């Protein structure tokens, strides 16, 4: 059994200030919750005033103050740390990769996942327009990795809406899913909890969903409601708004029991495939 914690923040445009706040919350997770795995939200290090701010703050893969921060925090507190997303250099010099990094408890990077699905939408209720593909280069690789907490799958925010991604993770043995996110207030109110719990239920896995939650200097409002959900879809802990942490235990025996007694995964009869050439 391992204690996992999701961190909730309301990040702004100042990287240094955001790292101070993230460090405070990681320390709290380690001190107050005896966390073994800590998950930071999407864009924890920078929520810019403009979309170009993250491009200016991008780092080379393996080098930079944000990556140093993650390594130092993981080693200092002896936790495995999921670094939400940070802007890393992309092939296109006008874009970044929204990279989610997993760091082990010695401060060594284990794996990197680049956000795959871009949030290019118009929200009619508020008039908000988002076009992530203009500044973010999409990733291509699914990531599931062995950890002391089980086989860990990495996804980010808008990825939640694409269940085929998680079926592919499940085929690689995924048992625990981490989802750093920054859902808007409108989409979060309508869909966040439903999507998080659905991914847990349909894949009979734990979900650790760390979110941005609050008002940001750029005028954006994020939904929050960071939560940890068990393989039966039960919410073990949650934080509706504001900065803070939520914690719960990952119980491998419970996961195995649910999958054995309710073997829906083995009952799959269809494998989704795209038509040739698509």
| Residues labelled catalytic | 42, 115, 157
Distances (CA, A) of 83 to 5, 26, 164: 13, 11, 24
Helix (H, G, I), strand (E, B) or coil at 172: coil
Bridge partners of 128, per DSSP, are 123
Contact assessment for residue 103 and residue 70, using Cβ atoms and an 8 Å cutoff: yes
How far is the C-alpha of 93 from the C-alpha of 143, rounded, in Å? 25
CA gap 60, 28 in Å, rounded: 29
Integer angstrom CA distances of residue 112 from 47, 50, 183, 203, 242: 20, 25, 22, 22, 28
d(CA 30, CA 236): 18
Rg (CA), the chain: 18
């Amino acid at each position: 059994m391992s204690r996992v914690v999701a961190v909730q923040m309301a990040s702004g445009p100042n990287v240094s200030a955001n790292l101070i706040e993230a460090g405070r919350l990681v320390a709290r997770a380690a001190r107050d919750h005896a966390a073994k795995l800590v998950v930071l939200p999407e864009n924890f290090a920078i929520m810019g005033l403009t979309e170009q701010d993250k491009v200016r703050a991008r780092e080379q893969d393996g080098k930079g103050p944000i990556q140093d921060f993650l390594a130092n925090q993981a080693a200092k507190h002896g936790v495995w740390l999921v670094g939400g997303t940070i802007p890393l250099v992309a092939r296109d010099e006008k874009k970044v990769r929204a990279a989610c990094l997993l760091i082990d408890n010695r401060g060594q990077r284990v794996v990197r996942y680049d956000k795959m699905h871009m949030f290019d939408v118009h929200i009619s209720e508020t008039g908000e327009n988002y076009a992530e593909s203009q500044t973010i280069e999409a990733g291509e690789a699914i990531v599931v990795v062995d950890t002391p907490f089980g086989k860990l799958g990495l996804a980010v925010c808008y990825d939640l809406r694409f269940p085929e991604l998680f079926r592919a993770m499940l085929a690689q043995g995924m048992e625990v899913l981490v989802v750093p996110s920054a859902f808007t207030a409108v989409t979060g109110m309508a869909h966040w909890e439903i999507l998080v719990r659905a991914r847990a239920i349909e894949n009979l896995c734990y979900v650790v969903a760390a979110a941005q939650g609050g008002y940001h200097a750029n005028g954006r409002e994020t939904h929050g409601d960071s939560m940890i959900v068990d393989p039966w879809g039960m919410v073990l802990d949650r934080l509706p708004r504001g900065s803070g942490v939520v914690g719960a235990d990952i119980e491998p025996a419970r996961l195995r029991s649910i999958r054995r007694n309710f073997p829906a995964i083995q009952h799959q009869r269809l494998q989704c495939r795209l038509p040739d050439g698509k």
